[in-house]
Amino acid sequence: MLFENFWEILLSGIVLWLFADEFLAMTMRRRAAHATVKQIVHDDIRPV
């Protein structure tokens, strides 16, 4: 019983961590909407 509970807690923790990570990525993207010129130039350079 303890072993099953351990896996349940572990999986729920991983799922919660993934949701939190995605939420933080979304908020950081929104915060960095006004990118600097250096970032834009770096993003525009693509390998041929």
Q: What are the boundaries of each domain within the chain?
A: 2-44
| pLDDT confidence of residue 27 | 77
Tens-place pLDDT, residues 1-48: 566 788 899 999 999 999 998 888 887 766 655 555 666 666 666 665
Q: What's the Cα-to-Cα distance from 43 to each of 29, 37, 38, 40, rounded to whole Å?
A: 15, 10, 9, 5
Note the pLDDT of residue 13.
94
The confidence score (pLDDT) of residue 18 equals 92
CA separation for the pair 14, 40 (Å, rounded):
34
* Residue 36, pLDDT score: 59
- Cα–Cα dist 41/13, whole Å: 39
Residue environment code for 17-29, b if the CB has 16+ CB neighbours within 10 A, otherwise e = eeeeeeeeeeeee
pLDDT of residue 45: 64
